[in-house]
Amino acid sequence: MPTIINSDKAPAAIGPYSQAVKTGNLVFLSGQIPIDPATGELVPGGLAEQAQQVFANIKAVLQTAETSLSNVVKSSVFLADLNDFAQLNIIYAEHFGEHKPARSTFQVAALPKGAKVEIEIIAECP
């Protein structure tokens, strides 16, 4: 039976979905956009500031699911502008270090609330 995961340290879902769902030893995180959980607003700034907030949100949900970035097996990155790909890679590498999960990256027409980046994650729960 799947378990719904919700962290009060990450923004609440802005639609009819959960922050994450755990089934077996896997947790599936819904896409995280750069919303500050304290304000419910998109963080100001460019891609760098937004990507940092996305990772903070991801880490909060993973922690609630009792796992971490080191157990991520797959990520999907959605960019409003593929020209941000190189800058995103730098920030992504800072957070994952030597761990290199499988990844897909897409340019999309638009993201919720005008975000520049959204990332969804699949991780193992040890």
- All domains in the chain, ordered by first residue: 3-124 (3.30.1330.40)
Give me 2's structure tokens.
Answer: 């799947």
* Residue ranges in the chain whose pLDDT is less than 70: none
The Cα 96–Cα 105 span in angstroms is 16
Query: CA separation (Å) from 37 to 21, 24, 52, 73?
Result: 19, 28, 13, 25
pLDDT (0 to 100) of residue 14? 82
pLDDT (0 to 100) of residue 74? 98
Beta strand 117-124 with 72-79: parallel, antiparallel or unpaired?
antiparallel
Please give the helix or strand (H or E) that residue 124 lies within, else none: strand 117-124
